[in-house]
Amino acid sequence: MAAHGLKPVVFIGQKGLTPEVLLSAEKAFERHELIKVKFNDFKEKADKTEISGCIEKETGAENVGMIGHTVIFYRQQEDPEKRKISLPQRDVDTLVRKLKIQNTIHRKRKVEAETCREKRLISARCWCNR
């Protein structure tokens, strides 16, 4: 099953990640193993990444891809008879390893961005004090 033909079933608006959005995602996961979440607001990649991480944490789903303003999530059905997607164990291990690497890179970039912002603030303060 490919995500290409799927339409987004959850939408993130200007209020961001609300309990209603999480409830909508949970309901979508009751019917589907693979869902798309569309960002109507929060167009910055850092914001989308942060919100996607919260959705992963709260729903137990895996972010399997982000294309533009749409994120694709996968969560295996608890009932084996409802499962439509089967992943060989090798692919599951690869996916988990890939996600860990992405999380490590994301944390490193976040620290670098914070350091860069601090340097700019210090530079701006020095310039203002002249």
Q: According to the 3-state scheme, what is the secondary structure of the chain?
A: CCCCCCCCCEEECCCCCCHHHHHHHHHHHHHCCEEEEEECCCCCHHHHHHHHHHHHHHHCCEEEEEECCEEEEECCCCCHHHCCCCCCHHHHHHHHHHHHHHHHHHHHHHHHHHHHHHHHHHHHHHHHCC
Pairing relation of β-strands 10-12 and 34-39?
Answer: parallel
Q: Which residue has the tokens 């993130």?
A: 12
- pTM score, two decimals? 0.64
pLDDT per residue as tens, the chain (130 positions) = 566 778 999 999 999 999 999 999 999 999 888 999 999 988 888 899 999 999 999 999 999 999 999 999 998 887 777 777 766 666 666 777 777 777 676 666 666 666 655 555 444 444 444 4
Q: What are the strands of the beta sheet with 70-74, ordered from one edge?
A: 10-12, 34-39, 70-74, 62-67
- Domain boundaries along the sequence of the chain: 1-77, 86-130
CATH architecture of 1-77: 2-Layer Sandwich (3.30)
pLDDT for 124 equals 43
